[in-house]
A and B are shown apart, each in its own frame.
Chain A
Amino acid sequence: MRERDLNQLDRRSFLTAAGAFVVALATPTEWAEAAQFDSAAAAGVRPDRLSSYISIDRGGTVTAYYGKIDGGQGLETSVAQLVAEEIDVPWDRVRVVMSDTAQCVNMGGSTAGNGLRQGGIILRQTAAEARRLLIGLASEKLGVPASELTVTDGVVHFVSDPSKRVSYGELIGARPLDAPVEYHGEAQRLTVKVRAPLKKPEEFRVIGKPYPRRDLPGKVFGTLQQVTDVKLPNMAHARMIRPPVAGAVPLTVDQKSISDIPGTQVVWIRDFLAVVAEKEWNAVKAAQRLKVTWSESHPGFPGHEKLFDHIRNAPVVARSSDSNVRAAGASQERNEGDIEEAFRRAAFVLEGEYEYPTMSHASMGPACAVADVRDDGATVYTSTQKPFDCQLGIAELLEFPPEKVRAIWMFGTGGYARDAQGDATADAALLSKHLKRPVRVQYMRFESLAWDPKGTASVSRNRAGFDAQGKVIAYENITKSFSMEDCNTRERHPQDTLAGMALGHPLNWRAAFGTPGNNYQFDNAHWGWELIAPLMDRSSPLRTTHLRDPFGPPLMFGSEAFVDEMAVHAKSDPIEFRLKYISEPRDRELLAAAAKQYGWDSRPSPTTAQPGTVATGRGFAYRTLGGTLIALIAEVRVNRDSGVVEIPRIVVAHDCGLIVNSETIRHVIDRQIIWQTSRTMIEELRFDDKMVQSVDWLSYPVVMMPGVPRSVEIVTIDRPDQPASGAAEMACGPLPAAISNAVFDATGVRLRRIPFTPERVRAALARGPEQAVKASL
């Protein structure tokens, strides 16, 4: 978001001011439809209008209104490519407005790496439709059939004679281009239907090319205005006050304890407590110094060391097979054949359990937001991933109708998925309402780690039944965990934020989890999950939600490490073993591409015994998600004395259908590998019975330079005739299993608990190889 966007007239006013001027459309029927719809233009941005997606000014600049966000993976750049391709203007003449609720249609914000799969395709289609309509206008003006016209760089001209021409700007003049658009669904399920066909891959000029990231110069030269940098007249700075024990609420607040800090004020509403100051440092100091007595609280958390026992022993409160879960579309359960019957006739049954710990989003910067609440409406500046849900939640919190709240998304403090940005936005809004002035809130480092919503810890239970010939005849994968939605992934209601819960709303719990994505075909199989109750009923620092690739690492660690165990039992090469149970041609091609890039030689794991301190191994894992396929090979060097596992080489084979930008996709995959390396080797949230103990980068260590894989080789498979299915998070999923499988290959010892710290690796090596295979009865 650049400064000018914040100041520009919003499009609703523009459309109203533009009155009844609508350009003539390609056919009389459309003209009539457009005229009819135009009377409703004053209603603002609507999903049934072309101008809500694409607009063109008289200078020929195209603006695309993208109702999603860019977490830093280059979507602004790629979306501009899709639009430039279809509307036929140069890439740098497409401007992208991202998730300003006053300017964009709700496309559901960011979720599941669908920035191109869903939002991008809508803008691609509407750009194509705009081009079709503009050619229709030119056909009328030039007096030739549309079929004899084409477009080059925003100029419509005769196919046969480029000198007979008219530019988009000339066609439009002072009037906005508009037309009705057929749409279905809303938010992340929004789709549109247009008459214009999309370009065929052989016609692409812009799609697939390595255009440079648009946001990078502003970041590199320190000129990009991010949410942390919003400064409004008379804006106050706030810091939140959090209890030392989870569940405690403030009983008394000693305002005198900060009276010597200039310009400070306490805001205390029910259990919501903050300090506000004119200067930011004074707010920080006041938050550190404010004396508060807190209520007694005994949350009785199990502690991170005993968490997995807690998960194993706690009663199940919901399952993937529950009818209400299925009805809510939150199941993802898969069933083939009759597993119990098949297990009974199995010659061997193999079992394996795997543990994935609680994690913080641990975003680079603590969450930040600015709110400006007036008597007649509010504006919030936020970097939540779901600005349209944030708009609704803030409206409910402030008791405004939704249209009185404008949420403006801006680049923020890093972080992917549902971190604390929406919490900070609600805090800022509540404070601004109370103080009747703009308020900026930024969390402190301890809050970012200890109070953000968490990624779930889980235990993955796996078993496989083999017949006497070694064929898998029964398979079961069950993940037992907390729900992924102790706290909703959207901040659509006050109870979905810390501020709302501080005002008395209970935790907005919903049974939701997932199953690993792959295309294995076992004759009898069950993929499901079991959930246990949340650890607290409100304002919990351990409340769970979506952390980047929520259906990835926690689920795939167990499932893909266990498939490796199955291959070991079958004395088969791990890739060849998988191929026996995969028939999908795309998956098979992907696995072969990874093997070829690595130089994989066929043999079972573990490798032959390696004398000496350091053992080398290789591990494979694969996954599918939302149409994207990833195969990953990790090479490790295990130091048996120190327990340190080095990862000198990673190979990723990646098929996400159409590749929109051949460079940004490689960067997104490369950076994900390092992100997930951190979450595989190092990260684990520590907590005791009372509170989270991970409060800084020493108590929540993350990967730094010495721990990153030195070499990440990426093979991308481009399928221009397929939809762009997304690349934002999918490569995370297979990494933990690939590393665990590589350590097994090197040492014959299986790592079953993330993270693979040197202490854990040493302990596992000391225990030695397990006897995991057990004979069936």
Chain B
Amino acid sequence: MPQNLTLNVNGQAHRISVDDPKMPLLYALRDDLGLGNPRFGCGLGQCGACTVHVDGQAIRSCTIPVSLVANREITTLSGLGTAEKPHPLQTAWIAEQVNQCGYCINGWIMTGAELLARNPHPAEQEVRDALSGLICRCGTHNAAVKAVLRASKA
């Protein structure tokens, strides 16, 4: 039986109809809302490529059921900041020229932004610890740490 839900994404309310309330949020964002930026990496919550904020907390959208996040505040990478109004971490990310392929980027920036929100001036080891559950296959790890530290000093 299809079920109607409201998803609040990047400040906009979207009414969607889902036929499976256990569908992971990622598919609602990509397929129903047409938001390409959270990416499918593993579907197992192991890599982080699908990370979004739910009420400010970094969550892996490939495993959380869409029905659990109805009416909560969801922010994706494209909602975190824009070229015109960038989040400080996005500015730092470009300054450090972090990425190669960039497919993992949601996990790193959204997790880094969550860290900065609760700890605006982290020590390097705190940054490394916060980013330790993420995968990047191009090897941007150290560059990502530099970007978070740069943003924390901005």
Contact = CB atoms under 8 A, between A and B. Distances in A.
B44 A672 contact: no
B128 to A, nearest CB: 5
Interface in A418-455: 442, 444-445
B94 A216 contact: yes
A415 B24 CA distance: 25
B137 A415 contact: yes
Contact of B102 (A219, A702, A710): A219
Contact of A212 (B24, B94, B142, B143): B94
The B contact surface, by secondary structure, is loop
A71 B141 CA distance: 18
A582 interface: no
A264 B149 CA distance: 48
A281 B77 contact: no
B36 A222 contact: yes
B37 interface: yes
Interface in B100-119: 100-106, 109
A322 interface: no
Nearest to B92: A220
B46 interface: yes
A213 B141 contact: no
Contacts of A672: 139
A216 B37 CA distance: 13
Interface in A227-249: 228-229, 231, 237
Given A72-B99, A365-B103, A674 B27 contact: no
A281 B23 contact: yes
B81 A673 contact: no
A260 to B, nearest CB: 10
A224 interface: yes
A221 B142 contact: no
A487 to B, nearest CB: 21
Interface in A682-718: 696-698, 702-706, 708-710, 712
Contacts of B93: 216, 220
A411 interface: yes
A237 B139 CA distance: 31
Contacts of A364: 41, 47, 49, 101, 103-104, 135-138
B128 A706 contact: yes
Contacts of A698: 46
Given A281-B24, A414-B101, A220 B137 contact: no
A31 interface: no
Given A702-B135, A710-B142, A280 B43 contact: no
Contact of B140 (A213, A280, A445, A671): A671
Given A229-B36, A704-B133, A705-B141, A219 B31 contact: no
A99 to B, nearest CB: 16
Interface string A398-427: 000000000000011111000000000000
B31 A671 contact: no
B142 A72 contact: no
B42 A222 contact: no
B19 A705 contact: no
Interface in A358-415: 362-366, 411-415
Contacts of A279: 27, 31
Interface size class of A (residues with CB under 8 A): 35 or more
Contacts of A678: 139
A705 B131 contact: yes
A231 B34 contact: yes
B76 interface: yes
Query: For A364, A671, A673, which residue has the most chain B Cβ atoms within 10 angstroms?
Result: A364
A668 interface: yes
Nearest to B140: A671
A667 B143 contact: yes
A649 interface: no
A102 B153 CA distance: 47
A284 B83 contact: no
Interface size class of B (residues with CB under 8 A): 35 or more
Given A365-B103, A696-B46, A698-B46, A664 B135 contact: no
A362 B142 CA distance: 20
Contacts of A73: 100
B83 to A, nearest CB: 5
A337 interface: no
B94 A697 contact: no
B100 A674 contact: no
A362 B44 contact: no
B3 to A, nearest CB: 13
Contacts of B30: 280
B39 A704 contact: no
B43 to A, nearest CB: 6
Given A220-B105, A221-B82, A228-B36, A281 B100 contact: no
A217 interface: yes
A664 B97 CA distance: 8
B114 to A, nearest CB: 16
B27 A280 contact: yes
B128 A705 contact: yes
B120 interface: no
Nearest to B139: A674
A646 interface: no
Given A221-B78, A222-B78, A363 B137 contact: yes
A678 B138 CA distance: 10
Nearest to A366: B40
Interface in A199-229: 212-213, 215-217, 219-226, 228-229
A145 interface: no
B40 A671 contact: no
A220 B90 contact: yes
Contacts of A703: 139, 141
A72 B134 contact: no
Given A708-B142, A710-B142, 12 more contacts: A213-B99, A220-B86, A221-B78, A222-B78, A223-B78, A284-B27, A364-B104, A365-B40, A671-B100, A697-B46, A697-B47, A703-B139
Q: Lowest 3 CB-CB distances: which A-B pairs, in order?
A: A674-B139, A222-B37, A72-B101
23 contacts: A72-B138, A212-B94, A213-B97, A216-B97, A222-B36, A223-B83, A224-B102, A225-B36, A228-B36, A364-B41, A364-B47, A366-B40, A414-B137, A415-B137, A445-B41, A667-B97, A668-B100, A671-B140, A674-B142, A675-B138, A705-B129, A705-B134, A710-B142
